[in-house]
Copies of this chain bind each other. A is one copy, B any other.
Amino acid sequence: MHHPKVQINDGFWNDYIELVRGTVIPYQWEALNDRIEDAEPSYSIRNFRIAAGLEEGEFGGWIFQDSDLYKWLEAVAYSLRRRPDPALERIADEAIDLIGQAQRDDGYLNTYFTIQEPGRAWTNLYEAHELYCAGHLFEAAAAYCEATGKRKLIDIACRFADLIDGLFGTKPGQMRAYCGHPEVELALVKLHAATGEERYLKLSQFFIDERGSQPSYYNEEWERRGRKNIWSQGAPNLEVYQSHLPVREQPVAVGHAVRAVYLYTAMADLARLNGDVGLREACERLWANTTGKQMYITGGIGATHLGEAFTFDHDLPNDTVYAETCASIGLIFWARRMLQLEAKSEYADVMERALYNNVLGSMAKDGKHFFYVNPLEVWPEASVKNPDRHHVKPVRQKWFGCSCCPPNVARLIGSLDDYIYDVSEDSRSVRVHLFIGSEISFETQGRKVALTQRSALPWDGKVEFDVSLPACPEGAEVAFELALRIPNRFNGERPMLHVNGEPLDYRVDRGYALVDRAWREGDQVSWLLPIQAALVAANPLIRADAGKAAIQRGPLVYCVEEADNGTPLASLSLAEAPRLSERQTSELLGGCVVVEGDGFVTDVAGWEEGLPYRPFSKQKKAVRIKAVPYYLWGNREPGEMNVWLRHS
């Protein structure tokens, strides 16, 4: 896979990228230093200071707290890659120095075990997240090295990776074990890419291959620990950790959703890098299950807060949902790797769905408040008074004690450049997965090519590309294939393609429109995506959505909110033919397109106050229902929210 240079310049995304740079990264640095008022403390920096011997004290926060700093550094790296910022880089360098001071001489690096249980490293692989934290270190190191050219963090990472490589493996005396929370596997692939060190790729492969072998290492380890756990009760539940079966034999997605998709991401990497057919088939099987039977329309995954986990096929409750932000981010990681395995538009469809809905909705427009859980149905009073729904928050929170999600959002948005294009190995084809304004430059047949994409998404479907051949003599031609994704957006129309103003029929390959021609400087491609709002139905096996419809417009799923439609929202239903209309507004939620449709509302006024049940009679009056983009929900007074609407 050829690595092109890409830089986003997009009317919609620039704001978010700037928000991450100007607000999220500085705010999270404050959070890591426990300087946010009224927010749960992070303890991250403090833990490193204690481990480095610079401060006295107990370890604070979750056992995997180190990863928050690493994820923040990774986000910083992407920000510096895009735009230098010496002040920020100085802060990051100091944090890296601190990390170096907390590293033991043998390369070991984990503040929890260094501070709290010095002699007990590697004794609880299924719960203690040591390799998980190592993985986030490796990802940060690879990104920071790429962005700044500085090697200090990657040297720290490699020393730790070398230690791990010596400890784990199939040789005598090595541990045939793997981490309860997959992450190091995908990180080792990145560390390999950054360093060229083959051992790291092999170590990743070892972890993948060893996973789920029987008898389970986790059971043996649990016995050795005297059957003691940190959180769970009893013997390890192997499904939670995706270690119930060898990964190649796992039929469906189970267990903790973030762990699952991090694992599948590494599997897809290795399937591609090693041409591993068995692994690829497993990825495709798990992909079909995850996105075909266990994914919310918002791109959320994980149907229960208990274990933050998948449940089973077609079980997608909208109210007791989990749909953790990190899980959707992991799904995007995985989708990206699947696209690299095979350029099929369905992978990019899911990537886009999760990005524009579940992930984008997790962050408030101020960049300082986040959802961990991303529900499709909210009744604020139930979130407070029904303990089955305590995990569902109607308002984004400042910071979480377990704050995996905010820095994950920051590093994803900061690296969005990497999700838009693929240039084929032979450089003869460039595929456009996402329609985000940006510039890409690559070389093909010894010629430099620059493509400029302009996109009016998500509000309008107009996308344009300008071809530039910067180093070519005038009139020169360069032949390559431009492959444009045809999004699956339920409104049934095919996008229109024009080249230099002329309509062009196109061939479709696995969901991409192919334009294979000799290009000249100044060539223009126009790609008009149908964007009008459409009603979406869920598979009838998804009981929670039976008799309901959702509204989607372009990549955006819509929802209704109490602020626009009153309460209870459950009283609303769509008319048989709701005549959806669209209206651009600058006044609402910082500017968006509102979708309205005909519907009905049950007349609550006719009900006696304390009467629970009475003879059935239709009592509904016509209303115009107003829907807003899901990603903008919860930015006004706390109120009810629904994605799925009854369709009468």
Contacting residue for A610 out of B292, B546, B570, CB 8 A:
B292
> A307 CA to B573 CA in the complex, in Å?
34
Contacts of A319 in B (CB 8 A): 317
> A292 CA to B609 CA in the complex, in Å?
8
Contacts of A573 in B (CB 8 A): 547
Check A616 against B536 for contact (C-beta < 8 Å): yes
Contacts of A607 in B (CB 8 A): 539-541
User: 13 more A-B contacts (CB under 8 A) besides A537-B615, A542-B612?
Assistant: A312-B382, A315-B386, A320-B320, A492-B615, A534-B615, A535-B616, A537-B616, A541-B568, A544-B570, A546-B570, A546-B571, A546-B646, A547-B570
Contacts of A492 in B (CB 8 A): 615
Convert A296-328 into 0s and 1s, putting 1 for each residue whose CB lies closer than 8 angstroms to a CB of B: 010000011111010110010101100000000
Contacts of A121 in B (CB 8 A): none
A interface with B by C-beta (< 8 Å) = 288-289, 291-293, 295, 297, 303-307, 309, 311-312, 315, 317, 319-320, 379, 381-382, 385-388, 490-492, 534-544, 546-547, 549-550, 568-571, 573, 602-604, 607, 609-617, 646-648
Contacts of A547 in B (CB 8 A): 547, 570, 573, 602, 646, 648
> A648 CA to B648 CA in the complex, in Å?
5
CB proximity of A529 to chain B, nearest CB, Å: 16
Contacts of A292 in B (CB 8 A): 609-612
Contacting residue for A612 out of B295, B569, B617, CB 8 A:
B295
Contacts of A609 in B (CB 8 A): 292
Check B387 against A571 for contact (C-beta < 8 Å): no
Contacting residue for A297 out of B550, B610, B613, B647, CB 8 A:
B613
Contacts of A647 in B (CB 8 A): 616
> A68 CA to B607 CA in the complex, in Å?
43
Contacting residue for A537 out of B381, B546, B617, CB 8 A:
B617
Contacts of A312 in B (CB 8 A): 381-382, 385-386
Q: Write 15 A-B pairs (CB below 8 A) sorted by A numbering.
A: A291-B612, A292-B609, A304-B388, A305-B388, A311-B382, A312-B382, A312-B386, A317-B319, A534-B616, A536-B613, A537-B615, A540-B571, A540-B602, A540-B604, A547-B602
> A604 CA to B541 CA in the complex, in Å?
8
Output the nearest chain B residue to A288 by Cβ-Cβ distance. Answer: B610
**A615-B381 CB under 8 A given contacts A293-B610, A546-B646, A547-B570:** no
Contacts of A537 in B (CB 8 A): 613-617
> A289 CA to B612 CA in the complex, in Å?
10
Output the nearest chain B residue to A606 by Cβ-Cβ distance. Answer: B540
Contacts of A570 in B (CB 8 A): 540, 543-544, 546-547
> A615 CA to B550 CA in the complex, in Å?
10
CB proximity of A565 to chain B, nearest CB, Å: 13
Contacts of A616 in B (CB 8 A): 490, 534-537, 549, 647
CB proximity of A75 to chain B, nearest CB, Å: 31
Check B304 against A490 for contact (C-beta < 8 Å): no
Check A386 against B311 for contact (C-beta < 8 Å): yes
Check B612 against A543 for contact (C-beta < 8 Å): no
Check B387 against A539 for contact (C-beta < 8 Å): no
Contacts of A381 in B (CB 8 A): 312, 315
Check B549 against A568 for contact (C-beta < 8 Å): no
Output the nearest chain B residue to A313 by Cβ-Cβ distance. Answer: B381
> A282 CA to B491 CA in the complex, in Å?
57
Contacting residue for A293 out of B291, B534, B602, B612, CB 8 A:
B612
Check A304 against B543 for contact (C-beta < 8 Å): no
Check B612 against A491 for contact (C-beta < 8 Å): no
Output the nearest chain B residue to A489 by Cβ-Cβ distance. Answer: B615
> A571 CA to B492 CA in the complex, in Å?
25
Contacts of A320 in B (CB 8 A): 320, 388
Check A536 against B297 for contact (C-beta < 8 Å): no
Q: Which of A297, A538, A546, A613 is most buried by chain B, counting CB atoms within 10 A of its CB?
A: A613
Output the nearest chain B residue to A534 by Cβ-Cβ distance. Answer: B615
Check B613 against A385 for contact (C-beta < 8 Å): no
Check B295 against A539 for contact (C-beta < 8 Å): no
> A603 CA to B540 CA in the complex, in Å?
8
Output the nearest chain B residue to A292 by Cβ-Cβ distance. Answer: B610
CB proximity of A532 to chain B, nearest CB, Å: 12
Contacts of A379 in B (CB 8 A): 315, 543
> A156 CA to B615 CA in the complex, in Å?
51
Contacts of A613 in B (CB 8 A): 297, 490, 536-539, 550
Contacts of A490 in B (CB 8 A): 613-616
Contacts of A611 in B (CB 8 A): 292, 539
Output the nearest chain B residue to A609 by Cβ-Cβ distance. Answer: B292
Check A491 against B571 for contact (C-beta < 8 Å): no
CB proximity of A546 to chain B, nearest CB, Å: 4
> A610 CA to B542 CA in the complex, in Å?
12
Contacts of A387 in B (CB 8 A): 304, 306-307, 309, 311
Contacting residue for A615 out of B535, B544, B603, CB 8 A:
B535
> A381 CA to B541 CA in the complex, in Å?
12
Contacts of A388 in B (CB 8 A): 304-306, 317, 320, 388
Contacts of A304 in B (CB 8 A): 386-388
Contacts of A311 in B (CB 8 A): 382, 385-387
Output the nearest chain B residue to A319 by Cβ-Cβ distance. Answer: B317
CB proximity of A273 to chain B, nearest CB, Å: 27
